[in-house]
Amino acid sequence: MPREIRYFFDNPVALQVREEGRVEGRIEERARLTLRILEWRDVPVCFALRERVLDCWDLDQLEVWARRALTVERAEDLFSG
């Protein structure tokens, strides 16, 4: 690999951008997984609820919602408890 390319990939800014991209990817996937679980369980999800889940950028909160999605009777119950 040419020196210039190695420098780019080893640059602290490039490393930070890659890490931020990985974190964003995990967050987006967790939100989508939460909604898929509800879908697989045939739990109806309104537009506002779907948007609330997709707009969340707190990975810990999304983890809580994903776990709740396994057992809730109504999608709205993700947010209570």
> 63 and 27 in contact (C-beta within 8 Å)?
no
- Residue 62 and residue 72: Cα distance in Å, rounded? 15
Model pTM score: 0.73
Render each residue's pLDDT in the chain as its tens digit; 81 residues. Answer: 555 555 556 667 666 766 666 778 888 999 999 999 999 999 999 999 999 999 999 999 999 999 999 999 999 999 986
Can you tell me the distance from the alpha carbon of 46 to that of 5, in angstroms, rounded to the nearest whole number? 47
